[in-house]
Amino acid sequence: MIWVALLVLAALALGLGVAVYRGVCVWRSVKRTGRTLGAELDRISGTVAEIEGQLARADASARRLAEAQERLRASRARLDVQRSALREARTQVARTFWFVPGR
């Protein structure tokens, strides 16, 4: 009977030892995973900050492009008015000097 009790006690001690060993292994794995996740989160945060900077620069470029397009539109409108005036002037000159050869 004593031997059975000692055998049960040894099995319990062995089971407790295995449980403690596995618990320590799980604890180390959790710590390692936490460090890895922390490093990856830092990397992702840096990348997000970089993307935000690029988006801000792209937004500024888009505003400058819109302003340049507006200036171009105004310039083209002025050019169209000037070309129309030039055509009218040429037509008027041609009507006035219809008798001049080699126009």
Cα dihedral 83/89/95/98 (nearest 10): -90
> pLDDT tens digits, residue range 49-92?
999 999 999 999 999 999 999 999 999 999 999 999 999 999 99
- Does this model's pTM top 0.75? My answer is no
pLDDT for res 86: 96
The residue count for the chain: 103
Does 1 score more than 80 pLDDT? yes
Does 102 score more than 80 pLDDT? no
pLDDT for res 103: 58
Cα dihedral 74/79/85/88 (nearest 10): -130
pLDDT for res 44: 95
Determine the straight-line distance between the first and last CA of the chain, rounded to whole angstroms.
134
Residue for token pair 């099995």? 11
